[in-house]
Amino acid sequence: MNIRLLYKKVHFIAFVVLLIGCFGAFYNISVKSNLDFIDSSIDRIVAKKKLLELYTEEIKLESELTSLGAMFPQRLDVRWTMSILNEIAKREGIEIVTIRPMPVINSDFHDELRVSILVECSYHQLGRMIDAIDSTDKYIQIEELRAVPASKRNNTAKVKDNVVIIGWQITFVSIVPKV
């Protein structure tokens, strides 16, 4: 009986070892090759995800560039700035006496368009005009603001609606990016 018991134990151990060996061979043959295929599929999916993220970023940057393009003039044309200033002045009831385009200042990454205007208005109207310019989505900066004597009639100050009218010399700057 002892021999039979020993014989059964040896067969059981041999069966377990052979079973583990068969499973190892099966793993190496089929599962490992499937794992390599799965790994390469995951790598392709990660690459496609990165490419999709890059396309999304490109679309976002293009839309930001488009919105910035609306904020700046696209060419060296002073009429863009002058038309915005004229529209705001009309809205505020400000009289534009003169508009004088100034020379363009070139830089490495942008050009500066300058416009000098002489307006006659009260300081309240001027404040509303500056606020309106600041509130626009266009890039227009006030570089210089000086009070100058308003044109006089018969040596008296100009008055409109019980408010003294003052002359204001304003220099505006707008930037044309070189993109």
Quick: pLDDT tens for 134-166: 888 778 888 999 988 766 555 555 666 667 788
CB 114 within 8 A of CB 171: yes
DSSP-based three-state secondary structure for 104: strand
pLDDT digits (tens, 9 = 90+) for 58-82: 988 888 877 766 666 656 667 777 8
The count of structural domains within the chain is 2
Dihedral through CA 172, CA 166, CA 99, CA 153, nearest 10? -170
What kind and span of H or E run contains 88? helix 79-92
Answer with the one of 71, 95, 118 that is the final residue of a domain: 71
What CA–CA distance (Å, rounded) separates 171 from 155?
Answer: 28
Same domain, yes or no, for 66 and 84?
Answer: no
**Final residue in a domain of this structure, among 12, 41, 71:** 71
Contact 119, 149 (CB under 8 A): no
Closest Cα to residue 106, out of 95, 114, 116? 114
Same domain, 67 and 15: yes
Identify the band that residue 111 occupies on the pLDDT scale cut at 50, 70 and 90: confident
| 129 in the same domain as 108 | yes
Domain with 163, as residue range(s), is 79-177
Amino acid 152: pLDDT: 58
Residue type, position 24, single letter: G
| 130 lies in the same domain as 61 | no
Q: Please give the pLDDT value at position 155.
A: 52
Q: Are residues 111 and 159 in the same domain?
A: yes
